[in-house]
């Protein structure tokens, strides 16, 4: 007689719901965790991420701030220094430019300057990226700016599962962590465990294994690269897709291992191509033994060197789209160039 095993179906949450659940679980488990930002209370956040948290935890732990990014960042840094674990939400990642002094000159450096006797367990969440018609001042991808700063960790989750796991890991971290959340991902659904789990910061995810070309991508570009890889497979091109998930610290070993196997590399990212994430990935390969395995030049497929347009057709043209990824990978594999 056979016994039928019934496996539970993994529930699905949206990217935004996964973040909200992570915040809720962290706040339930640790009274020092709180969140602050503009309109995150009764309004529920500019993109609805914090939702009903203010009704569950009260206004002393879900704090609506004045419209001053520099002020709220300074308050968050100060709270972290006194033993609290603030999670700061900025309405758009573009507005982090107004808080850069506190993040770059203070949060990133305090632990080093005090010989490890002080820490800044601060998390800053920021919606970024294009695709919503929000124009040049609300659509940028600025993660590479902060990846340049020692003392900061920079995270870019691309799935609901990673959005929850990486946020919980970031809250646990004694160092400041910046999380760039792509606006187009907030409604994306995916499997998310109910328990409070952690995903390691600094560990890439291999979304698809392949043998012909390595596609390294971040955030929304990881999703588009995965879709492009499925189309390429129908043409007989087997692409390996690596989602970096974290750009600082970066899992370069995962990239090098893949390049040694496929002998071709393309890096896809939404930030401006010049001096972007792709440059760091390319340099890491060029400076390693993996360079000797390359059968073609490295390809960087990044955003155009322009402010993001409001016009939807121009906006799409300014950042890599699925068709562009497919065409570039096809040429790289078949012609050895793009």
Q: Which of 208, 226, 221 is nearest to 247 (CA)?
A: 221
Q: For the full predicted model, state whether its pTM sits above 0.85.
A: yes
Concatenated DSSP letters of 132-158: SS--TTS----HHHHHTSTT-EEE---
The C-alpha atoms of residue 304 and residue 140 are separated, in whole angstroms, by 11
Domain 12-191: top CATH class: alpha beta
Whether 17 and 70 have beta carbons less than 8 Å apart is answered as: no
Q: Is 173 helix (H, G, I), strand (E, B) or coil?
A: coil
**Which residue, chain included where needed, has tokens 């698809």?**
208
Residue 123 region by backbone torsions, left for phi larger than 0, else alpha for psi between -120 and 50, else beta: beta
Q: How many CA atoms lie within 13 A of 287 on its CB side?
A: 8
> For position 2, what pLDDT does the model report?
47
Whether 243 and 232 have beta carbons less than 8 Å apart is answered as: no
The C-alpha atoms of residue 77 and residue 178 are separated, in whole angstroms, by 13
Name residues whose C-beta falls within 8 Å of residue 64's C-beta, 6 or more positions apart in sequence.
36, 37, 38, 39, 40, 41, 42
How would you class 117 by CB atoms within 10 Å of its CB: exposed for 0-12, middle for 13-18, buried for 19 or more? Answer: exposed
Residues of the chain scoring pLDDT < 70: 1-8, 338
Q: How many CA atoms lie within 13 A of 180 on its CB side?
A: 32
> For position 265, what pLDDT does the model report?
98
Active site residues: 69, 138
Q: Where are the domains of the chain?
A: 12-191, 205-335
> For position 289, what pLDDT does the model report?
97
Name residues whose C-beta falls within 8 Å of residue 17's C-beta, 6 or more positions apart in sequence.
160, 192
Domain 205-335: top CATH class: alpha beta
> For position 1, what pLDDT does the model report?
47
> For position 335, what pLDDT does the model report?
87
- 177-182 and 123-128 strand pairing: parallel
Give the rounded distance of the alpha carbon of 241 from its chain centre. Answer: 16
The C-alpha atoms of residue 272 and residue 306 are separated, in whole angstroms, by 8
């Amino acid at each position: 007689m056979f016994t039928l095993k019934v496996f539970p179906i993994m529930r699905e949450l949206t990217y935004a719901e996964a973040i909200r659940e992570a915040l809720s679980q962290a706040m339930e488990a640790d009274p020092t965790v709180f969140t602050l930002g503009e309109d995150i209370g009764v309004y529920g956040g500019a993109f609805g991420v914090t939702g009903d948290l203010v009704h569950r935890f009260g206004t002393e732990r879900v704090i609506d701030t004045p419209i001053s990014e520099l002020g709220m960042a300074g308050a968050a840094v100060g709270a972290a220094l006194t033993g609290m674990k603030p999670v700061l939400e900025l309405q758009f990642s573009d507005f982090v430019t107004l808080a850069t002094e506190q993040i770059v000159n203070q949060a990133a450096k305090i632990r080093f300057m005090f010989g490890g006797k002080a820490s800044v367990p601060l998390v800053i969440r920021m919606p970024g990226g294009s695709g919503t018609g929000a124009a040049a001042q609300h659509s940028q991808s600025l993660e590479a700016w902060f990846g340049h700063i020692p003392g900061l960790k920079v995270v870019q989750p691309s799935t609901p599962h990673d959005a929850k796991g990486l946020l919980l890991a970031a809250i646990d971290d004694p160092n400041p962590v910046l999380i760039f959340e792509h606006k187009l991902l907030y409604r994306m659904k995916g499997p998310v465990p109910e328990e409070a789990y952690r995903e390691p910061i600094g560990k890439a995810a291999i979304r698809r294994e392949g043998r012909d070309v390595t596609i390294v991508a971040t955030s929304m570009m990881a999703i588009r690269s995965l879709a492009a890889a499925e189309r390429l497979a129908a043409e007989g091109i087997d692409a390996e897709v690596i989602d970096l998930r974290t750009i600082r610290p970066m899992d370069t070993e995962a990239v090098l291992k893949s390049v040694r196997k496929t002998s071709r590399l393309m890096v896809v990212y939404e930030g401006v191509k010049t001096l972007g994430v792709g440059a760091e990935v390319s340099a890491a390969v060029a400076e390693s033994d993996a360079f000797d395995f390359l059968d073609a030049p490295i390809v960087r497929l990044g955003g155009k060197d322009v402010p993001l347009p409001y016009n939807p057709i121009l906006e799409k043209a300014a950042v890599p789209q699925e068709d562009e990824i497919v065409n570039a990978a096809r040429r790289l594999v078949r012609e050895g160039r793009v």
